[in-house]
Copies of this chain bind each other. A is one copy, B any other.
Amino acid sequence: MKDNGKVTIYDISKRLNVSAATVSRALNNNPKISSKTRELVFTTAKEMNYKQNRLAQALKSGKSKNVGVIVPYINRNFFSSIIRGIEEELGPHGYHVIICQTHEQMDTEMEQINTLLNTQVDGIFMSISKSTTNIDHFTKVLQEGKFLIFFDRKLDVPGVSSVVIDDFKAGYMSTAHLISQGCKRIAHFSGDLNLEIYKNRHDGYISALENHGLKPDPRYIFTTLSNVESGAAAARKMWELKEKPDAVFSASDYTALGAVQELKKQGVRIPEDFCISGFSNEPFTQYMELPMSSIDQTPLRMGQIAAQVFLEQVDSDQELSIEKKVVLSPELMVRKSSNRSLAELKVQ
């Protein structure tokens, strides 16, 4: 790339025969520099067509009015809605939002944090990747004096605020709903149970079964990845069981979609013979041949609240150790895939 011949503070300092530090301080209106010198520097800078770099300013003032958002995938409606919520809330305050995705890789996550710190963001909002086990890159953010706020997926890191949904409640609600439809052998398609969100959904499922006098059966719990293929594979395995389940609470809409496709191939009638409930309320759940019940995690609100927590912290003059933990309530969207009253209406 060719040198674009930009005027630097060194060029100004040479012209005026003062130090670069003096020029820099003068341009930043540092009162240590006499007003006469400041004026001289400003006039010369203007003459030489010097443009002060907003970033260079940020390097000094420590405020860039940029924030970073790191998500596993930008193309999940859940994450993109959270980002929209953050943008809507911060935009009027003059903040710009820059986004990175990790594709669920901890290495990438660490690099993205470095990238954002190097671009001098004032804070980072993030949902950790499934493979993240280490917290050093999070403490680094705090050490650099930047704010860090987790949403949805988090680890416990002192000094870090978080906005999450009540995943236990969501698992409980979904399972209790399936029970209310007459289902008695309810399977669970779980995510990686080392991740807090999936653990909580699982625990809510277990708790609902027990509170309704149903005995949890470990053969009915399938660990899946959040994609269609993994859901189809789990459904195939599930259908090989001697005593087949009559419902599944899936911790992912994509896995649930895979199950719907697989079970329909096998001639299973949904919801008559088998009820399915997913998680995240991805838009496709409404458009499916068989609209699918799901949990709405109110992502727009989650983003707005995360942004509000950030603004509170930025505006306060206190130390960085403020911690705020917000837990939102999930909403169950009942659709045809688990609504037997609808199925009966159709029969009549």
Chain A positions near chain B (C-beta within 8 angstroms): 1-4, 10, 13, 19-21, 53-56, 58-59, 62-64, 66, 68, 73-75, 77, 80-81, 83, 87, 96-101, 103, 111-112, 114-116, 118-120, 122, 143-145, 257, 283-284, 287-290, 314, 319-320
Cross-interface CB contact of A96 among B100, B257, B287, cutoff 8 Å: B100
- Nearest-CB residue, chain B, relative to A112: B96
Q: Given the complex, which residues of B lie within 8 Å of A103, measured CB to CB?
A: 87
Q: Do A287 and B257 have beta carbons less than 8 Å apart?
A: yes
- Nearest-CB residue, chain B, relative to A111: B96
Q: Given the complex, which residues of B lie within 8 Å of A320, measured CB to CB?
A: 1-2
Cross-interface CB contact of A115 among B1, B20, B96, B288, cutoff 8 Å: B96
Can you show 10 pairs from A to B with CB atoms below 8 A apart? A2-B145, A13-B21, A19-B19, A55-B118, A66-B115, A73-B80, A74-B99, A75-B80, A283-B284, A287-B288
**Other A-B pairs, 16, CB within 8 Å; known A20-B21, A66-B118, A75-B77:** A1-B62, A1-B63, A2-B320, A19-B21, A59-B59, A75-B80, A87-B101, A96-B111, A97-B100, A98-B98, A119-B120, A257-B287, A284-B284, A287-B287, A288-B289, A289-B290
Q: Do B101 and A144 have beta carbons less than 8 Å apart?
A: no
Cross-interface CB contact of A80 among B10, B20, B74, B118, cutoff 8 Å: B74
Q: Given the complex, which residues of B lie within 8 Å of A99, measured CB to CB?
A: 74, 98-101
Q: Given the complex, which residues of B lie within 8 Å of A144, measured CB to CB?
A: 4
Cross-interface CB contact of A10 among B21, B62, B66, cutoff 8 Å: B21
Protomer copies:
2
Q: Do A120 and B19 have beta carbons less than 8 Å apart?
A: no
Cross-interface CB contact of A1 among B75, B112, B116, B145, cutoff 8 Å: B145
SS of A interface (majority): mixed
* Given A112-B96, A284-B283, A287-B284, A55:B119 Cβ within 8 A: yes
Q: Given the complex, which residues of B lie within 8 Å of A112, measured CB to CB?
A: 96
Q: Do B98 and A100 have beta carbons less than 8 Å apart?
A: yes
In Å, the complex CA distance between A289 and B292 comes to: 12
In Å, the complex CA distance between A1 and B3 comes to: 36
**Min CB gap A2→B, angstroms:** 6
**Min CB gap A115→B, angstroms:** 4
Question: Which 6 residue pairs are nearest across A and B when measured between Cβ atoms?
Answer: A75-B80, A4-B145, A119-B119, A289-B289, A99-B99, A96-B115
In Å, the complex CA distance between A99 and B100 comes to: 6
Q: Do A319 and B2 have beta carbons less than 8 Å apart?
A: yes
* Given A96-B115, A98-B100, A314:B1 Cβ within 8 A: yes
Q: Given the complex, which residues of B lie within 8 Å of A290, measured CB to CB?
A: 289
Q: Do A118 and B63 have beta carbons less than 8 Å apart?
A: no
**Min CB gap A143→B, angstroms:** 8
